[in-house]
Amino acid sequence: MTSTAALDLRELLSFALDMADEADRIALGYYRGELGTTEKADGTLVTLADKAVEARLREMLGQRYPDHAILGEEQGYTEGAAGAGRWILDPIDGTHGFARGLPIWGTLIAYEAGGVVQLGVASGPALGTRWWAARGLGAYRGDTGASGHAGQRIHVSEISHISESHVLNGSMKYALQRWPNAQAVNDLAWRERGYGDFWAHCLVAEGAAEAMFENGPNPWDLAALIVILEEAGGRLTDDQGRAVIDAGHAVSSNGRVHNELLGLLRA
């Protein structure tokens, strides 16, 4: 057992990347195979892979950091010791695409301490790519399955106007329910696409797009991503500009177009 006081952020990140390796291995074993897909009470899908990945990550955390709290999409909240950190897990982000054989899905792993997400890993093995970051250590992109945890430092783009921006959205159907002016953002943008889920936010972090907005994400959908965006020089907020993961919606950008984007969405 490692005491919370003795924890080092690099050590935590290394362990999170080890967990991502294990999650990739398990999830790829189910991908495009027998998924045992069922519908949850909220109408979303869950597969055997979702359950197996979260169970294994919880097992690993229980062995390494038994005093830590855990919030996971499938098994809910497990309380930790007083003052201990909290891990936030999304075993398969993009389950609906995963169930249909699309490659845009991944495992999201985040560690939070003092109410602030300290590190995040977003691993997309079907895309062959992983993104990660830790506070003060920068944001990175690397190949899944590569030996070690080597990666390339990533940064957001320097574009400063929506009219020059590549703008992404999770689902215009749901976005319009919150932001009736969302289509005006797409109309103004240089280019718009609906890639959705974790990947779109990671594309903003690596400078391939300037903005992403979505209505409906949960904290486990965003926890890993907020630190990746911020360490890459960008922002992930609610539509009031607050850097939170529990608003039920999210707007990410390279930072330079953020205020313009929020103003357009709220118009």
pLDDT for position 195: 86
pLDDT for position 7: 67
Do 4-153 and 162-266 have matching folds?
no
pLDDT for position 4: 39
| Backbone dihedral region for residue 159 (phi beyond 0: left; psi -120 to 50: alpha; all else: beta) | beta
CATH fit for domain 4-153, picks 3.30.465.10, 3.30.230.10, 3.40.50.1370, 3.30.540.10: 3.30.540.10
Going from the first residue of the chain to its last (267 residues), give the mean pLDDT of each consecutive group of 10, the final group possibly shorter: 59 97 97 92 92 98 97 96 96 96 97 97 97 97 81 97 97 96 97 93 98 97 98 98 98 98 96
* Residue whose token pair is 């919606």: 249
CATH number of 162-266: 3.40.190.80
pTM of the model: 0.95
99-106: long-range contacts at Cβ-Cβ below 8 A with a sequence spacing of 24 or more? Answer: 99/35, 99/37, 99/45, 99/47, 101/31, 101/32, 103/127, 104/195, 104/196, 104/197, 104/199, 105/27, 105/197, 106/197, 106/198, 106/199
Listed by start position, the domains of the chain span 4-153, 162-266
Distance CA(86)–CA(82), nearest Å, equals: 11
pLDDT for position 149: 78
E-strand stretches of the chain: 38-39, 45-46, 69-72, 76-78, 86-93, 106-113, 116-124, 129-134, 138-143, 152-153, 166-169, 191-193, 211-215, 235-237, 249-253
